């Protein structure tokens, strides 16, 4: 192949394979219901600059020649951690297969970048190729994985037997094991902070935690966690529990524990989660504590629900929340990162048709979607370890939580898709009607602490920053290191990572970062210092949970809702 026309011909096979992988990726995302097949968009016709193709061709031929002349030397693959062990370097055939694979991956991604098309189509092409290449890596196959072969020889085949056992177990449980799930039990060694359920309705339980200080701030604190995950990400182990930290800081702390929906909740919509969920929780906390105002935190989708709830309350002329904290949350959905590649009119209409009036989006489907956003780290890494090498992944509380999935009511999910990710209606004053009120975030006028994680692939840092331009009150924006979860769960005692601050709030996060100052350690201390003036004076800590016979302790924390499996 030594001419541009021949290289262009080669792109036809690329486009066909790309179409297949794109359709496969689309079917993976969002977890299509059994037997349902949407009208998937076709990969658009692509044009390529002859100059770019010629440059790609020349670079490809040069690298192939270097590999071949190197005598099947696979050390070119050693920079990728999938192929970095001595077993790969010592096996010329395996090393060469890895090197050729990486070369082809670079060539395919180069073709994507050379495609002359719109930005969203290019992002979709890139995502499809990345999924395809992650799945086709030689490390994923026993016949090519030198490390797995070496392990099989050393164990006299026991690793293969264990791998088969692991595969059968994972087929039975319905997902790839990321950790040794047998080690963990909710309420025993995760979600351990002492407390009691003091209220429940069909959507959530409200947990009140036992104070650990003689006095507490007069304004109680309410956590609104995401409903697409379970709340105990905020209360994993004692040493990394945000809940325990808040209790130790003298806050009378409450937590919403969303129910894991079953068929009885299949008709619930966004209004129900806002009015019967967040707003009801705020009201109950006020009644139990007698406080005119509370402080509240929303995490991820919980922040979107809470922000919507505060707009509804403002439209009613009510201001029950003194300060708001948003953790890795989106109110402005202009920047949604890789998730944007899936959202278009046909996909949203399909979901509305499928479950807009009733139905459930299964938790495992959501979990698979988020895992495939980082396929090498969260999918194929465990396929190789569990099945090819016969390993049992080590215990890790965060990954146990990640595997403990939750369902979503179809109508709620369909409304969320259209009005946030697709049409970005929440930031359009009066465009959305929720719980009978027009939503206008400009009326949510209160102090706000906004946190975003620098490497977040679910709520990109620019998207988290967007809330600073939407809410009118006095705001503080803080950026933490790491990703969506690891950046948030960063206790001061660990003395890990960094966070950045800047008192000025220009239009974009990029401008904000230019003037930001880095601080070593956890952002929790900065947040605690910010929250303290909004929490009110210290008063005697309550000796009992709840209030009187109306809000008495129903059961010990963490309650039964969080233990229900999807």
Nearest to 162 by CA among 395, 404, 393: 393
Sign, Cα dihedral of 523, 527, 529, 530: positive
Q: Which two tokens stand for residue 557?
A: 């924390």
Neighbours of 60 (CB within 10 A): 18
Give the bridge partners for 460, in sequence order: none
Could you tell me whether strands 448-453 and 475-480 are parallel, antiparallel, or unpaired per DSSP bridges? parallel
Q: Which two tokens stand for residue 396?
A: 């890790």
Asked about 300 being catalytic, the answer comes back as yes
Q: Which two tokens stand for residue 356?
A: 């807009």
**How far apart (Å, rounded) are the C-alpha atoms in residues 471 and 437?**
18
Q: Do 490 and 515 meet the contact criterion of CB atoms below 8 Å apart?
A: no
Neighbours of 313 (CB within 10 A): 23
3-class DSSP state of 161: helix
Helices (H), 29-91: 50-69, 86-90
**How far apart (Å, rounded) are the C-alpha atoms in residues 84 and 78?**
5
Could you tell me whether strands 47-48 and 115-116 are parallel, antiparallel, or unpaired per DSSP bridges? antiparallel
Catalytic residue among 143, 227, 300, 432: 300
HEC assignment per residue over 331-387: CCCCCCHHHHHHCCHHHHHHHHHHHCCCCEECHHHHHHHHHCCCHHHHHHHHHHHHH
- Which residues are known to be catalytic? 300
């Amino acid at each position: 192949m030594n001419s541009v026309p021949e290289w262009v011909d080669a792109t036809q096979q690329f486009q066909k394979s790309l179409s297949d992988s794109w359709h496969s990726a689309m079917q993976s995302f969002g977890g299509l219901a059994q037997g349902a097949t949407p009208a998937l968009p076709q990969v658009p016709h692509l044009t390529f600059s002859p100059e770019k193709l010629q440059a790609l061709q020349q670079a490809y031929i040069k690298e192939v020649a270097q590999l071949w002349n190197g005598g099947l030397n696979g050390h070119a693959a050693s920079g990728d951690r999938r192929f970095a062990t001595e077993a790969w370097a010592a096996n010329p055939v395996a090393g060469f297969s890895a090197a050729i694979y990486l070369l082809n991956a670079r060539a395919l991604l180069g073709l994507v970048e050379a495609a002359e098309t719109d930005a969203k189509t290019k992002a979709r092409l890139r995502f499809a190729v990345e999924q395809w290449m992650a799945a086709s890596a030689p490390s994923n196959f026993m016949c090519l994985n030198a490390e797995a072969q070496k392990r099989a020889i050393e164990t006299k085949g026991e690793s293969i037997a264990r791998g088969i056992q692991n595969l059968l177990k994972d087929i039975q449980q319905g997902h790839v094991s990321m950790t040794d799930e047998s080690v963990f039990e909710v309420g025993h060694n995760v979600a351990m902070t002492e407390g009691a359920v003091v209220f429940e309705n069909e959507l959530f339980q409200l947990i009140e935690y036992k104070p650990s200080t003689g006095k507490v701030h007069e304004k109680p604190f309410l956590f609104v966690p995401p409903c697409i995950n379970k709340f105990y990400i905020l209360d994993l182990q004692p040493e990394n529990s945000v809940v325990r930290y808040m209790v130790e800081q003298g806050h009378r702390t409450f937590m919403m524990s969303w129910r894991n929906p079953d068929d009885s909740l299949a008709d619930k919509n966004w209004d129900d989660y806002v009015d019967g969920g967040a707003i009801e929780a705020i009201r109950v906390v006020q009644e139990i504590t007698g406080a005119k105002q509370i402080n509240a935190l929303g995490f991820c989708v919980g922040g979107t629900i809470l922000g919507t709830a505060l707009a509804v309350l403002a439209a009613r002329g009510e201001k029950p929340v003194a300060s708001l904290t948003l953790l890795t949350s989106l109110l402005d959905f202009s920047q949604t990162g890789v998730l944007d590649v899936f959202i278009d009119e046909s996909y949203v209409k399909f979901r509305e048709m499928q479950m807009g009036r009733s139905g459930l989006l299964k938790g495992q489907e959501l979990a698979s979607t988020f895992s495939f956003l980082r396929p090498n780290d969260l999918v194929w890494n465990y396929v190789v370890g569990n099945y090819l090498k016969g390993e049992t992944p080590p215990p890790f509380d965060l990954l146990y939580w990640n595997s403990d999935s939750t369902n979503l009511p179809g109508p709620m999910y369909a409304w969320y898709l259209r009005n946030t990710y697709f049409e970005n209606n929440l930031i359009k004053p009066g465009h959305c009607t929720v719980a009978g009120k027009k939503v206008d975030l400009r009326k949510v006028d209160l102090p706000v602490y906004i946190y975003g994680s620098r490497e977040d692939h679910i709520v990109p840092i620019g998207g988290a920053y967007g809330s600073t331009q939407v809410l009118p009150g006095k705001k503080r924006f803080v950026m933490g290191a790491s990703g969506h979860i690891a950046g948030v769960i960063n206790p001061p005692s660990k003395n890990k990572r960094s966070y950045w601050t800047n008192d000025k709030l220009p239009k974009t996060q990029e401008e904000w970062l230019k003037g930001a100052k880095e601080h070593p350690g956890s952002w929790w201390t900065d947040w605690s210092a910010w929250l303290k003036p909004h929490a009110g004076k210290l008063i005697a800590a309550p000796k009992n949970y709840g209030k009187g016979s109306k809000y008495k302790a129903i059961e010990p924390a963490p309650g039964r809702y969080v233990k229900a499996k999807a």
